Every structure is written in C-alpha cells, then in structure tokens.
C-alpha cells in the first residue's frame, strides 16, 4: 500500500516539525488549542483502553501519540490494549468495581449500553465548544447518542462491501454487477468458468452479510414506534431480501454447505486460499489480504453492494467511539486526548494504518478524493449507503443471543424456511424489546 506508507512518513515529518494534532486538522479547533496551552497537566497520567489489533502497528502509533500528548499537555499516557473478545466483560467488571479507565475505545454498539447505566460522560458541550458538531460522520454520531446527549466521540468507522477476484472476473468476461440479478449472474458465470470455486459463499455466522439484503429489499431489522421497538425482520420486504440472499446458497448453489457455520474470518481465510470468487467483507480486509497474500495484489477488487434494481444496498456502518468515563477525575484532560485522537493528523494516520475511515467528515472526504481502487468503493458505500442497527441497548442483547445468525443458519441448513426462520427471529427480538 503505497499510499499508506507515504502518509505515515509525512505524519512523522509533521511531528518532527513540532506541529500538534489539534493544529493539523482542517477543523476549527483553535479554541481548544488555546485552552490546552493554558492548562498544565504535568505529573498527571491518563489511563486509556484501546482495542487490540485494529492497527497492525498500534505500539508505534501510540508511542508517537504519547510523545505529542506530553508536549501538548505535560501529562503522561498509559495506553492499555484490550482484546475485543474479552473487552466487554472487562468494561462490565471495571464499572462494577469502579476501576474504569479515564478514556476508552468503545465499539459503537456498546456506547449506548454503558451510557444507559451512567458510566459515561456527556460530551455534547465539549464537542460544541470545539466546533466539531457539523464535522462528524452522522452514522457514528447517531450510534453514540442516547436521549439527545452524545456520549461517544466518533473515532473511526468501517463498512462492508463486496471484495471480488478481479482476475477471474476478467477471464470470464464479467462486468461489475450493479443489480441483484447481475450479482447472481456474475456468480453463476464464475462457477461455470471455475468449477472448483465457491462463487459467493453465504456465511451463516455473519449477521452483517445478510443486513444489506434486508435493507436493500426495503425491509428493516426493527422499527421504533413511540418508545418501543418492534421487529420487522419477518415483514414481506425483509423476507424477500433474505430469500434472495440465502437463495444464492440454497437454490442457486453458489455457496457451500461448510459456509453455513462460517464466521467472517472463515470467509476471509478461504478467500485468501483462493477458494472464493467474491464475498461480503469489510473495508479493513483488503489490507490484510494483501499482507497475508502479496500475490493477490493485482487480482482483487471491490465494489459497493448493488441495490435490488438500482443504486446501492445499505450496509452496516460499524466502528468505534472514544468515550470518557464519568468516574474519571480528569475530564478536561480526557477530552483533550479524545480530540487529539479523533481529529486532524492522528485520526487521519490511524485511518490509513488500520484501513478504517476517520469519523471526521472533512478527513473522510480527503480519503475519498484519493480514489484508491480498494478504498473508494467502501468509501462510496459508507457515504451513500451506510446504515445502523437499531440504536438501543436492547439490540446489544439481541446481538448477544445471535438472533440473526440463528435465523441464517437454520435457513442455510434447511431446518426452516425463510419465513419460518424470520418469524422465529422476530419473536425472539420482540421478546427482548418487550413489545
């Protein structure tokens, strides 16, 4: 990735010149920079939890951040990396034991949950004072907001689109599909040309793979009416989308039985082994594929998930917020760190290194302008067709019990029809929603 290394080098140069993060961005952050210079926090230490593995070179990145933060505020940073798999438990325990960090990276679906129990600080005023209100990616603001107050500061975002084998498409003379019908034809042509290939695996343990087809057909997971949510996953539109998506496996035979229990990581490893023609995959995966299998550099491409007949199908906009814990005694210092990370140079650099998109709109536009063939389709998907799962802590419980995955697996294994499985899923969701 030529682009990335260039940016990283530029970033280091900027740092060497003594430019600080807050000054580097094109947002109007002059006010807060003034505050930062005034307050001296030397001797203080800010504890920060960051998720492990998002940035392949997280250590080096945070060494740089620590130095810059010390220059800016005089305070030290203690960065602790947490693995995604156990982080939620660790947050819960720390909230119970009153041992929360000052600042932490929060998966977008967690922010509402922790805010709901009063563990996070309301950042609305600070965001307003910094003049950032209008410059944040709306999807991330939405998932970080509870009852009108913003608890999660958008940091980075990712979205899923289709990654495909450009070489196989070209060899078989297939154009990039722009409708669902074309998507199916493309997969069928791929299969005819490459009998050993799995043209379009439908992963049963990947909820986000199915969502674009539910949304693309005009359906929804759940809708809010007044204060209660009601599941819509068994509505005629949702079922139509699910029938198309799972039908690619069950009727058209474009997947494989093994994929019924595949997670996204299984999709990825099979793609890397060359078994797969195209797949629904995240904006952060092309970088990983190219690192793992450098030979694939000229062989892969990406396109946004097409709409049923035109336009694009919505895809889940996931990512991370930075949150400040309410129990922290260093609220101002914590905010300075949050602002430094989520705007300007460091936000841009983090995005480039990790393959995610910055949560600041002005930075995102910059990425789109660069027009990298493995980045632009995802950026287009994110800007034009990004969507959120129901913004309520209750949906976290539904994801916890894997309602959508259960539905997919029962359809793919043939133990239920699409309508039956969707009805079960809707009942399961409504039980949690209490509707």
Binding site for another protein (CB under 8 A): 88-89, 92, 95-96, 113-114, 116-119, 204-205, 253, 256-258, 260-262, 266, 270, 275, 396-397, 400-402, 405-406, 408-410, 412-413, 415, 432
Pairing of strands 315-324, 103-107: antiparallel
Quickly count: other Cβ atoms within 10 Å of residue 170's Cβ.
Answer: 11
Query: Least distance from C-beta 400 to another protein, angstroms?
Result: 3
Question: Cβ closer to another protein: 48 or 408?
Answer: 408
Q: Which two tokens stand for residue 426?
A: 């809707």
The structure tokens listed for 100 are: 């929360």
8 Å CB contact between 277 and 303? no
Cβ closest to another protein, residue 6 vs residue 86: 86
Tokens of 164: 């495909």
Instruction: Work out how close the CB of 15 gets to another protein at its nearest, in angstroms, rounded to a whole number.
Output: 39
For another protein, give the closer residue by CB, 243 or 405.
405
Complex with another protein: residue 306 or 323, whichever CB lies closer: 323
Nearer to another protein, 262 or 303 (CB): 262
Residues near 22 by Cβ (< 8 Å), separated by ≥ 6?
A: 29, 32, 33, 36, 72, 339, 340, 343, 344
CB 222 to another protein: min, Å: 16
User: How many Cα atoms are found within 13 Å in the side-chain-facing hemisphere of 11?
Assistant: 24
Question: Rounded distance, CA 58 to CA 417, Å?
Answer: 45
Residue-wise DSSP of 109-139: HHHHHHHHTT-B---HHHHHHTT-GGGB-HH
DSSP string of 364-398?
HHHHHHH--TTTHHHHHHHHHSEE----SHHHHHH
Q: What are phi and psi of 329, to 5 degrees?
A: -90, 0
Q: Which is nearer to another protein, 14 or 268 (CB)?
A: 268
CA–centroid distance for 308 within its chain: 23
Q: How far is the CB of 273 from another protein (least distance, A)?
A: 8
The region, left, alpha or beta by phi > 0 then psi within -120 to 50, assigned to residue 3 is: alpha
Tell me the closest approach of the beta carbon of residue 110 to another protein, in angstroms: 10
* CB nearer another protein, residue 78 or residue 413: 413
Q: Of all helices (H) and strands (E), which one includes residue 269? A: helix 264-272
Say which residue the tokens 């005629």 belong to: 236
Beta-carbon contacts of residue 319 (< 8 Å; ≥ 6 apart): 108, 140, 154, 155, 156, 157, 158, 356, 357, 359
Provide, rounded to whole angstroms, the least separation between the CB of residue 255 and another protein: 9
- CB-CB contact of 248 with 345 (8 Å): no
C-beta of 117 vs 181, nearer to another protein = 117
Question: Smallest distance from the beta carbon of 65 to another protein, in angstroms?
Answer: 29
Report the nearest approach of another protein to the CB of residue 117 (Å).
4
Nearer to another protein, 135 or 428 (CB): 428
Using the minimum distance from each CB to another protein, give the nearer residue, 283 or 328: 328
Minimum distance from residue 234 beta carbon to another protein (Å): 17
Question: Using CA atoms, how far apart are residues 298 and 29, in angstroms rounded to an integer?
Answer: 41
Query: Rounded to the nearest whole angstrom, what is the least distance from the CB of residue 370 to another protein in the complex?
Result: 37
All residues at 6 or more sequence positions from 97 whose CB lies less than 8 Å from its CB, including other chains: none
């Amino acid at each position: 990735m030529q682009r990335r290394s260039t940016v990283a080098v530029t970033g280091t140069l900027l740092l060497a010149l003594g430019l600080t993060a807050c000054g580097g961005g094109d947002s109007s952050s002059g006010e807060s920079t003034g505050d930062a210079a005034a307050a001296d926090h030397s001797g203080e230490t800010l504890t920060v939890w960051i998720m492990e593995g998002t940035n392949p070179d997280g250590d080096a990145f945070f060494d740089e951040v620590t130095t810059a933060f010390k220059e800016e505020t005089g305070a030290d940073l203690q960065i602790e990396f947490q693995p995604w798999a156990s982080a939620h438990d660790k947050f819960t325990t720390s909230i119970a034991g009153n041992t929360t960090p000052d600042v932490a990276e929060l998966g977008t679906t967690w922010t509402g949950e922790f805010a709901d129990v009063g563990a996070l600080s309301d950042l609305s005023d600070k965001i307003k004072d910094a003049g950032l209100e209008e410059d944040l990616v709306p999807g991330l603001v939405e998932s970080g907001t509870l009852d009108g107050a913003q608890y999660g500061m958008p940091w980075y975002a990712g979205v899923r689109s289709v990654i495909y084998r450009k070489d196989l498409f070209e060899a078989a003379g297939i154009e990039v599909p722009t409708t669902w019908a074309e998507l199916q034809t493309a997969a069928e042509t791929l299969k005819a040309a490459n009998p050993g290939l799995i043209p379009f695996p439908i992963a049963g343990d990947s909820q986000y793979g199915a969502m674009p087809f539910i949304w693309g057909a005009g359906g929804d997971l759940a809708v809010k009416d007044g204060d209660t949510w009601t599941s819509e996953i068994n509505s005629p539109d949702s079922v139509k989308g699910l029938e198309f998506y799972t039908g690619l496996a069950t009727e058209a035979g474009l997947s494989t039985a093994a994929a019924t229990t595949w997670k996204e990581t299984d999709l990825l490893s099979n793609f890397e082994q060359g078994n797969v023609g195209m797949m629904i995959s995240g904006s952060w995966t092309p970088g990983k594929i190219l690192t793992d299998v450098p030979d694939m550099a000229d062989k892969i491409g990406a396109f946004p998930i097409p709409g049923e007949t035109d336009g694009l199908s919505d895809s889940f906009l996931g990512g991370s917020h930075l949150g400040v814990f309410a129990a922290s005694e260093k609220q101002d210092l914590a905010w300075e760190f949050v602002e430094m990370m989520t705007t300007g140079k460091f936000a841009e650099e983090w995005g480039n290194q990790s393959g995610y998109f910055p949560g600041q709109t002005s930075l995102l536009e910059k990425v789109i302008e660069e027009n990298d063939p493995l980045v632009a389709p995802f950026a287009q998907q994110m800007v034009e067709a990004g969507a959120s799962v129901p913004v309520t802590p209750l949906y976290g419980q539904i994801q916890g019990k894997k309602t959508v995955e259960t539905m997919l697996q029962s359809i793919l294994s043939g133990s239920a029809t699409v309508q039956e499985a969707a009805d079960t899923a809707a009942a399961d969701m409504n039980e949690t929603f209490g509707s």
